[in-house]
Amino acid sequence: MKQIPESNDASPAAATSLRALFRWPIPLALIWLLAPVVGLSLRLALAPITPHDYWWSLAMGNLIASGAGIPHENLFLYTMPADAPFFNQPWLSQLMMAKLLDNFGHAGLLILRNITTVLTTTALLGLALWRVREPRIVGGLALLAVAAGAPVFAVRTQMFAFLPFMLLLGVLFGVADRRLSRRWLLLLIPLTALWGNLHGTFILVPILVGLCGGALVVQEWLETRRMPMREALVWGGTSVMTALAALLNPQGVGIYTYVHQLTVVSPVSQSVSEWQPPDISEPYGLLVFLVLVVGLSLLARDRKNLKLYEVALFAATTYLAFGSIRHMFWWAAMMMLVLPGPLSRALKLDDWRESATTGAQGALHMVLAVVMVGGLVLSQPGLPVHQTGVELLSGATRRAGPGKGMIDTDTPTQIMEGMLRDGYPGRIFHSQSVGGYLAYALATPVPRQVAFVDQRMEMIPESLWEVYFEIAGAKDGWQEVLDGYGVRTLLLSPGEQSGLIRAAQADPDWVLVAVDEGHLLFFRADQRDHLIRWR
């Protein structure tokens, strides 16, 4: 393995390369870099907000904003004691989301997600160019990276973790490559303190710092046969201090219990698709598998030039990604910083600055860049391209009712209008995806138990999930189970509960009351007053 260079010469050279992208005539290399940023951001700009985690975060944010403090009890599920404890870790993200909704509506949260996406992908490209000054390589890899990491860019609390992760990568690689002094590691301590109140992925900081520093210490020992004690103390101390910084949250040490329960103890990893490993029988799973195979082949071919810390960080994020789709972005981002060097050495491309660009070509590239950036800007909510694009490309977006053009059809906003206006009988059995929506619409800012299950996978016991899926599949005895819970209303999703919908339609004890773009509402046939009111 090559020893880490001492000089910082790459930084001025990188700046020179970056300036060359904007000199006349505009080179094609600029388009290579714009394509992944605009492509991902434009697609997301035209995608609706899905209910999973979104409404739950807003329900929590509303409670916190009302002055009730950070909730640490069940409150919303009638299937569990109201005082059943749970740990609400991303409280600060939830509060910010609720405030944004109050002031700017759903459009404000969509725009925030879109801005975060642009800044994250731009920062990732910048970090990659910092290490390898070849925009064609970086841009091409970025297209694969954004395709692999795209599923996590939803409007949810996780979006507040992307920019902190970019800062973490910048410090780790900058210090490890000796482009930054070790003092920059101190920045990770307040970063972790903030991140620990935004999203559970704060745990990446002490883990990756420890892996990176450990790899650097081992590498120096292998090369010199001397233990670099100062290096070990700096990196080890930073890892410990960042781990302690995460305790600066309103519930203290419980934050680590929460992470352990969510990732190890909870049945979430067996019951939720985004916590599953990628399935190579599906197009998405096959794509990321092929990218991994090619990446590993490049690393093996270029092993003499690899640094041990690159291998350690790439291996750690690969382990996360191929254990759960939810962690795919962390691996995709790491791939952008580790693979460009081996790929560049494998392809042996001529320096892109030496390729002559004519004035006509430069004009064409400039027009293309303006169209791409302009299309991205005009695709934001409230602007013409957004409305047209949603109608043409996104069949899952609501076409009527509250949230039209911005909310996924999995959120039954029209049915909810009727439930708030005309009421509903008994308790509700519903699709899991709208558990948080029921809490938001029916039980905030004054909490009450309105939902069967919701998004708190780590709190809900496996036995309750088994009951939920038995009812959703209309297994024998489903009517008696619902009676036992006092359920007189069914709010069902054809995508998740088709078996129960068929059973309810065939059962004279249930009456179809309303149909939304993505849900069906049933009342018990003996609830005459409510049936008359709805009819």
Q: What is the pLDDT of residues 403-447, one digit of tens each?
A: 888 898 899 999 999 999 999 999 999 999 999 999 999 998 899
Question: Is the per-residue pLDDT at 267 higher than 60?
Answer: no
Q: Which residue has the tokens 């934001």?
A: 380
Nearest-10 crossing angle of helices 283-301, 340-347 = 70
Low-confidence winner among 138-142, 285-289, 338-342, 368-372 (lowest mean pLDDT): 285-289
Confidence of residue 146 (pLDDT cuts 50, 70, 90): confident
- Mean pLDDT, the chain, rounded, equals 88
Question: What pLDDT shows up at residue 394?
Answer: 60
- From 335, 353, 371, the end of a domain falls on 353
pLDDT band, residue 264 (cuts 50/70/90): low
The answer to whether residue 186 scores a pLDDT higher than 90 is yes
Q: Are 174 and 308 members of one domain?
A: yes
Same structural domain, 420 and 334: no
Q: Which H, E and C letters describe 216-262, residue by residue?
A: HHHHHHHHHCCCCHHHHHHHHHHHHHHHHHCCCCCCCCHHHHHHHHH
Q: Residue 16: pLDDT band by 50, 70, 90 thresholds?
A: low
Within this chain, do residues 231 and 346 fall inside the same structural domain, yes or no? yes
* Mean pLDDT to the nearest integer, 303-332: 91
Say whether both 342 and 446 belong to one domain: no
**Is the pLDDT score of 351 beyond 80?**
no
* Number of neighbours of residue 168 by Cβ within 10 angstroms: 26
Establish if 28 belongs to a structural domain: no
- Residues 180, 323, single domain; the answer is yes
Q: Which amino acid appears at position 441 of this protein?
A: A
Tell me: do 349 and 467 sit in the same domain.
Answer: no
| Range from 73-82, 224-233, 393-402 carrying the lowest mean pLDDT | 393-402
Q: Which amino acid is at 341?
A: G
According to the model, what pLDDT value does residue 457 have? 82
What tokens does 418 get? 């009727």
Task: Give the CATH number, domain containing residue 529.
Answer: 3.40.50
- Render pLDDT for 88-120 as a digit per residue (tens, 0 to 9): 999 999 999 999 999 999 999 999 999 999 999
Do 308 and 437 lie in one domain? The reply is: no
Structure tokens given for 431? 């699709």
Does residue 251 lie within any of the structural domains? yes
Domain boundary among 326, 353, 380: 353
The Cα-based distances of 511 to 283, 516, 527, 531 in angstroms read 40, 15, 10, 8
Is 45 a member of any domain? no
Residue 12 has pLDDT above 70, yes or no: no
Whole-number pLDDT of residue 470: 94
Cα separations in angstroms, 368 against 4, 28, 99: 39, 10, 37
Query: For 269-283, what is the mean pLDDT?
Result: 71
98 falls within a domain: no
Most confident segment among 43-57, 375-389, 402-416, 471-485: 471-485
Sheet holding 510-515, edge to edge: 427-430, 487-492, 520-524, 510-515
- Measured CA to CA, the distance from residue 181 to residue 186 in angstroms comes to 10
The two beta strands, 520-524 and 510-515, are antiparallel
Range of the domain at 173: 135-353
- Residues 505-520 have a mean pLDDT of 94
Q: What total number of domains does the chain contain?
A: 2
The span from the CA of 209 to the CA of 192, in Å, is: 11
Residue 97 is assigned to a structural domain of this protein: no
Does residue 342 sit in the same domain as residue 419? no
CA distances from residue 424 to 106, 471, 534 in whole angstroms, order as listed:
26, 20, 9
Q: Which residues contact 188 (CB under 8 A, 6 or more apart)?
A: 168, 171, 205, 209, 238, 242
Q: Compute CA distances 160 → 152, 164, 348, 431, 454, whole Å.
A: 12, 8, 38, 27, 22
Q: Tell me, what DSSP letter sits at residue 282?
A: S
* Same domain (yes/no): 163, 307: yes
pLDDT at 10: 47
Which of 2-6, 40-44, 154-158, 465-469 has the least mean pLDDT?
2-6
* Domain assignment present for 154: yes
1: nearest Cα among 184, 216, 264: 216
Q: Give the three-state DSSP class for 78.
A: coil
Top-ranked range on mean pLDDT: pick from 260-274, 355-369, 421-435: 421-435
User: In angstroms, rounded to a whole number, what is the distance separating the alpha carbons of residues 19 and 15?
Assistant: 6
Query: Is 27 inside a domain boundary?
Result: no
| Residue 530 covered by a domain | yes
Q: Tell me the one-letter amino acid at 514.
A: A
**Average of per-residue pLDDT across 261-282:** 67
CA distance 302 to 2: 11
Query: 1 pLDDT exceeds 80?
Result: no
Dist CA 150 CA 329 (whole Å): 7
- Rounded to an integer, the average pLDDT of 313-318 is 95
Sign of CA dihedral 360, 361, 364, 370: negative
d(CA 446, CA 162): 32
- Report the pLDDT value the prediction gives residue 42, as an integer from 0 to 100: 85
Q: What per-residue confidence (pLDDT) applies to 190?
A: 97
- CA distances in angstroms from 500 to 1, 318, 341, 468, listed in the order given: 60, 39, 54, 11
Express as a percent the part of the chain with pLDDT over 70: 93
pLDDT of residue 134: 87
Using the predicted structure, report yes or no on whether residue 270 has a pLDDT greater than 70: no
Same structural domain, 345 and 418: no
pLDDT of 7: 36
Q: What is the pLDDT of residues 204-241, one digit of tens each?
A: 999 999 999 999 999 999 988 888 999 999 999 999 99
Residues 343 and 417 in one domain: no
Going from the C-alpha of 479 to that of each of 425, 482, 502, 503, the distances in angstroms are 16, 5, 13, 10
Q: Would the pLDDT of 2 be above 60?
A: no
What digits encode the pLDDT tens for the residues 243-259? 999 999 988 888 888 77
User: Of 65-69, 122-126, 237-241, 311-315, which range is least confident?
Assistant: 65-69
* Domain stop point among 313, 330, 353: 353
Domain shared by 345 and 427, yes or no: no
